[in-house]
């Protein structure tokens, strides 16, 4: 077996050194009837070529986004990823390293995490960021529990225009942790009044920017309303490229930003792995979940980096930790930071502008059917006759037209709404094809 | 002043090159991508356009590639050498798996595309479920948890949901029994879900004492036990059936931390031992890359009793067509957005298919063989607290008692290993062993690599006894020991421009 280097001769020698008659004898502490005498009922080992052949066949039964016009978004976005990103993250020193517990031989990981944390702060307009979470939804759920700790309250108010997967992830934690989650109904055209839902018991208000339906709105007044009642404002961003064009949440009074970072540097990959971005205010730093990388010096006074503030974490605090999270999304955060470094100030702004211009161009073609007045690269379209049906029909014509709202809000009476995302990967022909197919 | 012949003009030393932060290499005007400017038209941003600079640096592609290449050279990975980090299963990561995960049919598909366009992806998920189910002897598999600790949350949520479904009488079942040797995530998970953590001390064999466990379980209010098996002391809990029976008799469930599944994969099915839920770290046993700290993937296998409470989404088949079921009456909820770590499922399946049932059996056999080999060849120079509690499983546990008179501690040995070109083992864990050194060689090391490790470890012990300055190591790494106290006391968590 190509991955297993111990030979039969090695095995005999080693067993002799151990003083064991056989490998099986090393399992003598396992209850005898639980020890399988034969391999389980699964196929035997296979050559690299054979595995590749079979998996390629499975992959071939999926329709890749690059095969035609593509407009799906709703929390996972198709953006171009520069070739050097994928090359660099596959360097073995990154790919096959562990969480940097031994900082002297993990300065590569630690330095990029320090740079990553800084980039996340700059994008979100926040003061401090962690080394990433599993995904945007778990980051948002952790933001709520952090707000509960900070305010010592236990009721979160959630926008009806928050991605339902994010809402449900937080609601699942709420169910088991015993805090309240008050979710407003969806309002596809925006104009939601969340301020009136905040009271003296509210720990935080969770609002998405741009929201599920694509709406963008100034959150400053909502922040003021939350702060006036002693609550925090949690801003969720599912399309982080938007922050290259839009005012950052930190400038509008956000206390915590929980974002999905996939759209910079990472493939959609059927929804995972993605990476959660988590940023907050310095005064709440010690209540943050997740890994944090900090600057320090070594014994010779040279600048270096370590994981720090571990006294918040499970491996030190055990049952008193701020979160049970252990790992982050290391390699995804590396892809993110490399892509963002390549983009730089100008590249990100241009990328964001291209996305917005494409979306505006499509909205202009679709005219009055567009429900969303102000948006970044995604908006909602009303399709009489049902969005899911239209999506199925267009898929048959080779166009992946977007995400029907009914997929995320089944039974909510929103079956005629379609979420359409336009990134830089859609060209004018794609926009024309979709507009024509929907007309 | 002329330096001695070993000094360099730059201060860099051969391949060890100091690398500034990207922010310190800002070159306004440089571009790393060539996006055109968008046609200027009226925007529809509702007056929310970003004003002022973001503050991101500008670098051209060659600078960027060089930056990350140099950073990578300051890292140690499995590709570099033996990485005996106990409880982490740092085995070889086959590159075939990377190639497979990057097939456009897996990487370039959207989680909410019409189901008719992703039947291959759903079939792959089902195939991963089948392999995990057969290997564990457990009927249900929840794929969505994003990592091991997330899998623990998932399993314990299902247990809470099952208890709650059992009626009001179960409301007081809040006690979760956790051995002191457990990973920190176990008590953290239980506490995060409102359970009361009851710690179980290890006995002198490095195991849970079954009599003591039965007494604790008999005190009432038991929701579950969270047990790692093989445990973190490196041995198999040979009373596991008694423990399972006791927790079941007390009306609770058996959660198994599957971090150490690599020791038994293909040979022992947790389902045959009375386990009700167990997470599987695909990044450990099934070799998806650790990536410097993720992304992981932590599917959870469930016994028949817990299957109904598994989270959504689930993959169901109707008339030969696969669907994602988003709602189910008894499901406890949702763990994260979308359907799980697809990219990791592809890698893990490629790994499982490559090994097959026969190869996976050899995986656990060789992993256990290698650990026992290290244990027997080192136990005369490093004290091994449980060396005679039965065979080691896939880890060998040592401590620094044998070095007591030398002034050299576990930490010093770890740092000295760095100078020898090794990654240190896990240190100071499990907490129940003072100065613990937990060594997990894995099955992908050659005999020569193991012998080199043994020779180095024996040599370091000898040097410790001879007064070598190990307390100052490492000397030859990109950095000497780092001041962690300063980092925590005055946290600097981001770069700021001078003067800001």
Outline where B166-226 has alpha helix (H): 185-192, 210-217
Q: Taking a contact as any Cβ pair under 8 Å apart, which residues of chain A between 279 and 318 contact chain B?
A: 285, 291-300, 302, 304-306, 308-311, 313-318
In this structure, the answer to whether residues A423 and A324 fall within a common structural domain is no
Q: What is the pLDDT of residue B498?
A: 86
Is the per-residue pLDDT at B229 higher than 80?
Answer: yes
Percentage of chain A surpassing pLDDT 70? 100
The tokens of B372 are what? Answer: 């026992």
In this structure, the answer to whether residues B298 and B386 fall within a common structural domain is no
In this structure, the answer to whether residues B300 and B432 fall within a common structural domain is no
| A293 phi and psi angles, rounded to 5 deg | -105, 135
For residue B500, tell me if it sits in a domain: no
Nearest CA in chain B to A33: B272
Using the CB atoms, write b or e for B65-81: b if 16+ within 10 Å. bebbbbbbbbbbbbbbb
For residue A309, tell me if it sits in a domain: yes
> Average of pLDDT values for A189-214?
97
- Residue-wise pLDDT for B78-106, tens only, equals 999 999 999 999 999 999 999 999 999 99
CB neighbours of B208 closer than 8 A, spacing ≥ 6?
B179, B200, B202, B227, B231, B237, B239, B243
- The CATH number that applies at residue A356 is 3.90.1150.10
For residue B491, tell me if it sits in a domain: no
In this structure, the answer to whether residues A210 and A233 fall within a common structural domain is yes
Which DSSP category does A210 fall into?
Answer: S
Give the closest-approach CA distance of A394 to chain B in angstroms: 10
Average confidence score pLDDT of chain A? 97
For residue A245, tell me if it sits in a domain: yes
In this structure, the answer to whether residues B232 and B316 fall within a common structural domain is yes
The tokens of B73 are what? Answer: 């050279």
* Residue A162 · residue A208 · CB < 8 Å: yes
ipTM over cut 0.90: yes
Instruction: Name the region of A129 (left: φ>0; alpha: ψ -120 to 50; beta: rest).
Output: beta
- Residue-wise pLDDT for A6-17, tens only, equals 999 999 999 999
A412 touches chain B (CB under 8 A): no
**B93–A58: do the CB atoms touch at under 8 Å?**
no
Nearest CA in chain B to A164: B337
In this structure, the answer to whether residues A320 and A421 fall within a common structural domain is no
Last residue of a domain, one of A337, A353, A371: A337
For residue B10, tell me if it sits in a domain: no
Last residue of a domain, one of B352, B376, B405: B352
Last residue of a domain, one of A309, A337, A365: A337
In this structure, the answer to whether residues B428 and B341 fall within a common structural domain is no
Q: What is the pLDDT of residue A354?
A: 98
Q: Nearest CA to A222 among A242, A205, A203, A202?
A: A205
Is the per-residue pLDDT at A327 higher than 90?
Answer: no
Q: Nearest CA to B315 among B117, B108, B119, B156?
A: B119
- Domains: count for chain B: 2
Q: What is the pLDDT of residue A320?
A: 78
Helix (H) or strand (E) holding A419: strand A417-421
For residue B77, tell me if it sits in a domain: no
Distance (Å, whole) CA B93 – CA B98 = 9
Q: Nearest CA to B234 among B43, B416, B64, B425?
A: B425
Least confident of A42-56, A133-147, A324-338, B104-118: A324-338
| A199 phi and psi angles, rounded to 5 deg | -135, -170
Q: What is the pLDDT of residue B15?
A: 87
For residue A145, tell me if it sits in a domain: yes
For residue A284, tell me if it sits in a domain: yes
* Residue B307 · residue B162 · CB < 8 Å: no
In this structure, the answer to whether residues B364 and B471 fall within a common structural domain is yes
> Average of pLDDT values for A150-166?
98
Last residue of a domain, one of A279, A305, A337: A337
- The CATH number that applies at residue B422 is 3.90.1150.10
- Residue-wise pLDDT for A382-423, tens only, equals 999 999 999 999 999 999 999 999 999 999 999 999 999 999
In this structure, the answer to whether residues A205 and A128 fall within a common structural domain is yes
Cα separations in angstroms, A320 against A164, A315, A382, B11, B314 = 30, 10, 49, 45, 33
| A235 phi and psi angles, rounded to 5 deg | -110, 125
- Domains: count for chain A: 3
The tokens of A189 are what? Answer: 């055209």
In this structure, the answer to whether residues A324 and A371 fall within a common structural domain is no
CB neighbours of A298 closer than 8 A, spacing ≥ 6?
A104, A304, B479, B480, B481, B482, B483
In this structure, the answer to whether residues B394 and B289 fall within a common structural domain is no
- Residue-wise pLDDT for B317-326, tens only, equals 999 999 999 9
For residue A29, tell me if it sits in a domain: yes
Last residue of a domain, one of B300, B331, B352: B352
For residue B330, tell me if it sits in a domain: yes
Is the per-residue pLDDT at B1 higher than 50?
Answer: no
Is the per-residue pLDDT at B3 higher than 70?
Answer: no
- The CATH number that applies at residue A123 is 3.40.640.10
In this structure, the answer to whether residues B204 and B326 fall within a common structural domain is yes
Q: What's the domain range around A298?
A: 83-337
Q: Taking a contact as any Cβ pair under 8 Å apart, which residues of chain B between 38 and 77 contact chain A?
A: 38-39, 41-51, 53-59, 61, 64-65, 67-69, 71-77
A430 three-state secondary structure? helix
Chain A partners of B110 at a C-beta cutoff of 8 Å?
65, 70, 72, 76, 78, 268, 270-271, 400
* Residue B335 · residue B299 · CB < 8 Å: no
For residue B249, tell me if it sits in a domain: yes
> Average of pLDDT values for B154-182?
95
Which residue among A269, A319, A348 sits closest to B107, beta carbon to beta carbon? A269
Q: Nearest CA to A257 among A277, A241, A275?
A: A277
Nearest CA in chain B to A406: B112
Residue with tokens 């056989």: A22
- Long-range contacts of range A7-11, CB-CB < 8 Å, 24 or more positions apart? A7/B447, A10/B446, A10/B447, A11/B366, A11/B369
Q: What's the domain range around B314?
A: 97-352
Which DSSP category does B424 fall into?
Answer: -
Cα separations in angstroms, A330 against A52, A116, A326, A327 = 26, 10, 11, 8
The tokens of B44 are what? Answer: 């529809």
**A400–B79: do the CB atoms touch at under 8 Å?**
no
**B105–A58: do the CB atoms touch at under 8 Å?**
yes
The tokens of B361 are what? Answer: 């059996």
**A270–B112: do the CB atoms touch at under 8 Å?**
no
B194 three-state secondary structure? coil
In this structure, the answer to whether residues A269 and A301 fall within a common structural domain is yes
> Average of pLDDT values for B2-22?
84
For residue A57, tell me if it sits in a domain: no
Q: What is the pLDDT of residue B119?
A: 98
* Residue B289 · residue A96 · CB < 8 Å: yes
Chain B partners of A316 at a C-beta cutoff of 8 Å?
184
* Residue B138 · residue B270 · CB < 8 Å: yes
In this structure, the answer to whether residues B143 and B161 fall within a common structural domain is yes
Last residue of a domain, one of B300, B329, B352: B352
For residue A56, tell me if it sits in a domain: no
- Residue-wise pLDDT for B336-371, tens only, equals 999 999 999 999 999 999 999 999 999 999 999 999
**A345–B377: do the CB atoms touch at under 8 Å?**
no
Q: Taking a contact as any Cβ pair under 8 Å apart, which residues of chain B between 203 and 232 contact chain A?
A: none
In this structure, the answer to whether residues A277 and A128 fall within a common structural domain is yes
For residue B126, tell me if it sits in a domain: yes
> Average of pLDDT values for B222-228?
97
CB neighbours of B86 closer than 8 A, spacing ≥ 6?
B232, B234, B395, B397, B425, B426, B429, B437, B438, B439, B440
Band (B219; pLDDT cuts 50, 70, 90): very high
Q: What is the pLDDT of residue B5?
A: 64
Pairing of strands A155-158, A202-208: parallel
Residue B466 burial (C-beta neighbours within 10 Å; 0-12, 13-18, 19+): exposed
Query: Which residues face B16 on adjacent strands?
Result: B13
Distance (Å, whole) CA A420 – CA A400 = 10
* Residue A204 · residue A151 · CB < 8 Å: yes
B63, B68, B458: best to mutate for the A interface, most A CBs within 10 A: B68
Pairing of strands A180-183, A155-158: parallel
Distance (Å, whole) CA A339 – CA A351 = 12
In this structure, the answer to whether residues A239 and A385 fall within a common structural domain is no
Sheet of A417-421: strands edge to edge? Answer: A378-382, A417-421, A403-404
Distance (Å, whole) CA B435 – CA B424 = 14
In this structure, the answer to whether residues A133 and A271 fall within a common structural domain is yes
The tokens of B404 are what? Answer: 């007591």
Distance (Å, whole) CA A171 – CA A437 = 38
* Beta strands per DSSP E along B48-133: none
**A329–B121: do the CB atoms touch at under 8 Å?**
no
Distance (Å, whole) CA B460 – CA B219 = 48
* Beta strands per DSSP E along A197-324: 202-208, 232-237, 256-260, 276-280, 293-297, 303-307
Which DSSP category does A282 fall into?
Answer: G
* Residue B413 · residue B460 · CB < 8 Å: yes
Nearest CA in chain B to A238: B337
* Residue A407 · residue B118 · CB < 8 Å: no
Give the closest-approach CA distance of A300 to chain B in angstroms: 7
B9 three-state secondary structure? coil
Which DSSP category does B86 fall into?
Answer: T
* Residue A241 · residue A377 · CB < 8 Å: yes
Q: What is the pLDDT of residue A197?
A: 98
Q: What is the pLDDT of residue B146?
A: 96
For residue A55, tell me if it sits in a domain: no
Using the CB atoms, write b or e for B109-141: b if 16+ within 10 Å. bbbbbbbebbbbbbbbbbbbbebbbebbbbebb
The rounded Cα B340 to chain-centroid distance in angstroms is 17
Chain B partners of A7 at a C-beta cutoff of 8 Å?
447
Band (B499; pLDDT cuts 50, 70, 90): confident
CB neighbours of B466 closer than 8 A, spacing ≥ 6?
none
Helix (H) or strand (E) holding B371: helix B342-378
For residue B70, tell me if it sits in a domain: no
In this structure, the answer to whether residues A151 and A115 fall within a common structural domain is yes
In this structure, the answer to whether residues A381 and A414 fall within a common structural domain is yes
- Residue-wise pLDDT for A63-95, tens only, equals 999 999 999 999 999 999 999 999 999 999 999
In this structure, the answer to whether residues A146 and A199 fall within a common structural domain is yes
Chain B partners of A148 at a C-beta cutoff of 8 Å?
none
């Amino acid at each position: 077996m190509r991955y297993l280097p111990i030979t039969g001769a090695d095995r005999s020698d080693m067993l002799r050194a151990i003083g064991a008659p056989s490998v099986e004898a090393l399992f003598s502490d396992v209850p005898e009837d639980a020890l399988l005498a034969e391999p389980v009922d699964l196929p035997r080992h296979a050559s690299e070529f054979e595995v590749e052949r079979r998996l390629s066949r499975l992959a071939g039964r999926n329709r890749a986004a690059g095969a035609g016009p593509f407009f799906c978004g709703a929390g996972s976005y198709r953006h171009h990823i520069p070739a050097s990103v994928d090359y660099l993250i596959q360097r073995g020193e990154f790919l096959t390293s562990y969480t940097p517990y031994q900082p002297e031989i993990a300065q590569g990981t630690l330095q990029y995490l320090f740079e990553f944390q800084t980039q996340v702060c700059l994008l979100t307009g926040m003061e401090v960021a962690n080394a990433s979470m599993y995904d945007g939804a778990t980051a948002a759920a952790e933001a709520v529990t952090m707000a509960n700790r900070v305010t010592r309250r236990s009721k979160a108010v959630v926008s009806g225009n928050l991605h339902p997967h994010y809402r449900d992830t937080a609601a699942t934690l709420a169910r088991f942790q015993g805090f309240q989650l008050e979710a407003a109904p969806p309002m596809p055209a925006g104009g939601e009044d969340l301020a009136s839902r905040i009271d003296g018991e509210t720990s935080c208000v969770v609002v998405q920017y741009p929201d599920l339906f694509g709406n963008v709105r100034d959150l400053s007044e909502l922040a003021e309303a939350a702060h006036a009642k002693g609550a925090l404002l949690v801003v969720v961003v599912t399309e982080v490229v938007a922050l290259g064009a839009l005012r950052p949440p930190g400038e509008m009074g956000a206390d915590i930003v929980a974002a999905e970072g996939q759209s910079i540097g990472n493939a959609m990959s059927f929804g995972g792995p993605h990476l959660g971005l988590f940023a907050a205010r310095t005064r709440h730093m010690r209540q943050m979940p997740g890994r944090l990388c900090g600057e320090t010096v070594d014994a010779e006074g040279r600048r270096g980096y370590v994981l720090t503030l571990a006294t918040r974490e499970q491996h030190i605090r055990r049952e008193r930790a701020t979160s049970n999270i252990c790992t982050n999304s290391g390699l995804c955060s590396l892809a993110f930071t490399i892509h963002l470094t390549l983009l730089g100030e100008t590249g990100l702004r241009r990328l964001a502008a291209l996305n917005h211009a494409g979306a505006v161009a499509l909205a202009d073609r679709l005219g009055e059917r567009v429900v969303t007045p102000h948006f970044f690269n995604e908006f909602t379209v009303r399709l009489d006759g049902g969005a899911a049906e239209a999506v199925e029909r267009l898929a048959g014509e080779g166009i992946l037209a977007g995400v029907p709202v009914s997929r995320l809000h089944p039974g909510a009476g929103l079956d005629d709404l379609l979420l359409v995302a336009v990134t830089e990967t859609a060209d004018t022909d794609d926009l024309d094809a979709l507009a024509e197919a929907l007309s | 002043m002329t330096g001695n012949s070993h000094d360099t003009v730059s201060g860099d030393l051969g391949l060890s090159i100091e690398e500034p932060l990207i922010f310190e290499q800002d070159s306004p005007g440089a571009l790393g991508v060539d996006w055109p400017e968008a046609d200027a038209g009226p925007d529809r941003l509702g007056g929310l356009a970003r004003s002022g600079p973001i503050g991101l640096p500008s670098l051209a592609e060659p600078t960027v590639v060089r930056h990350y290449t140099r950073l990578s050279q300051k890292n140690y990975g499995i590709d570099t050498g033996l990485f005996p980090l106990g409880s982490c299963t740092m085995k070889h990561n086959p590159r075939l798996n990377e190639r497979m995960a990057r097939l456009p049919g897996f990487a370039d598909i959207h989680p909410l595309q019409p189901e008719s366009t992703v039947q291959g992806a759903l079939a792959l998920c089902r195939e991963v479920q089948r392999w995990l189910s057969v290997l564990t002897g457990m009927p249900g598999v929840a794929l969505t948890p994003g990592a091991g600790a997330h899998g623990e949350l998932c399993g314990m949520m299902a247990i809470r949901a099952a208890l709650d479904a059992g009626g009001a009488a179960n409301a007081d079942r809040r006690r979760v029994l956790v051995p002191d040797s457990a990973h920190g995530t176990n008590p953290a998970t239980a506490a995060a879900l409102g359970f009361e953590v009851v710690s179980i001390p290890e006995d002198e064999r490095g195991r849970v004492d079954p009599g003591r466990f039965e007494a604790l379980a008999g005190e009432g209010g038991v929701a579950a036990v969270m047990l790692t098996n093989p445990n973190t002391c490196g041995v198999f809990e040979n009373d596991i059936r008694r423990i399972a029976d006791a927790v079941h008799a007390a009306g609770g469930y058996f959660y198994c931390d599957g971090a150490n599944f690599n020791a038994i994969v293909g040979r022992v099915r947790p389902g045959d031992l009375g386990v009700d839920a167990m997470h599987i770290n695909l990044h450990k046993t099934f070799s998806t890359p650790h990536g410097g700290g993720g992304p992981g993937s932590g599917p959870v296998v469930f016994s028949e009793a817990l299957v109904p409470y598994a989270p959504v989404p689930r993959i169901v088949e109707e008339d030969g067509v696969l669907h994602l079921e988003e709602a189910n009456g008894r499901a406890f909820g949702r763990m994260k957005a979308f359907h799980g770590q697809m990219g990791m499922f592809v890698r893990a399946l490629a790994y499982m298919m490559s090994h097959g049932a026969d190869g996976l059996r050899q995986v656990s056999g060789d992993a256990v063989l290698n650990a026992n080999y290290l244990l027997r060849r080192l136990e005369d120079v490093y004290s091994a607290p449980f060396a005679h509690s039965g065979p080691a499983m896939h880890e060998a546990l040592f401590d620094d008692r044998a070095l007591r008179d030398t002034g050299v501690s576990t930490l010093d040995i770890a740092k000295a290993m760095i100078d020898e070109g090794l990654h240190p083992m896990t240190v100071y864990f499990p907490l129940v062993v003072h100065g613990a050194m937990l060594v997990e060689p894995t099955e992908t090391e050659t005999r020569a690599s193991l012998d080199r490790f043994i020779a180095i470890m024996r040599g370091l012990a000898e040097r410790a006894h001879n007064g070598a300055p190990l307390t100052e190591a490492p000397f030859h790494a990109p950095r000497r020991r780092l001041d962690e106290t300063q980092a925590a006391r005055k946290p600097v968590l981001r770069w700021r421009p001078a003067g800001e």
